[in-house]
Amino acid sequence: MNAVDEYINQFEGEHKAKLMEMRMLLRALMPDAEECISYQMPAFRLHQMVCYYAAFKSHLGFYPTSKPIERFKDLLKSYKHSKGAVQFSLKNPLPEALISEMVQFRLNDIKNKR
């Protein structure tokens, strides 16, 4: 069992289910990325940190860094968000298409910096 498994296994019910759903989506989007724990949250690294996610009392936090948040701010209007984070309700399905677009944008940004 690795550190990400340990993080996810400390939760139950919808928290654990949503964490697993996010993990599987991110793994599918970044099959070559390394899973790790950073800032006490599960994260994905591919040459540098791509994104983080974490469970909270009533939401799942997604942290793709500030550039994707700025780029997709119009699509994020229905979600509570800040400069570097988006909150997804545990009660609603994850917006997989939006998350995918944000991750792809982040990956392209990383690639262009290398």
Strand partners for 34: 45
pTM: 0.95
pLDDT at residue number 114? 65
At residue 57 the predicted structure's pLDDT band, cuts being 50, 70 and 90, is very high
37 pLDDT above the threshold of 70: yes
For the beta carbon of residue 76, count every other beta carbon within 10 angstroms.
18
Pairwise CA distance, residues 35 & 95, whole Å: 21
Return the CATH number at 109: 3.90.1150.200
* 3-class secondary-structure state, position 12: coil
Phi-psi region of 47 (alpha: psi -120 to 50; beta: other; left: phi over 0): left
pLDDT at 47: 87
- Residue 112, pLDDT > 90, answer no
What is the spatial distance between Cα 36 and Cα 42, in angstroms, rounded to a whole number?
6
Domain that holds residue 74: 3-113
Single-letter amino acid code for the residue at 105 = F
Task: Report the percent of the chain where pLDDT is more than 70.
Answer: 99
Number of structural domains, the chain?
A: 1
67-103 residue pLDDT tens: 999 999 999 999 999 999 999 999 999 999 999 999 9
pLDDT of residue 105: 97
Tell me: pLDDT of 45 over 70. Answer: yes
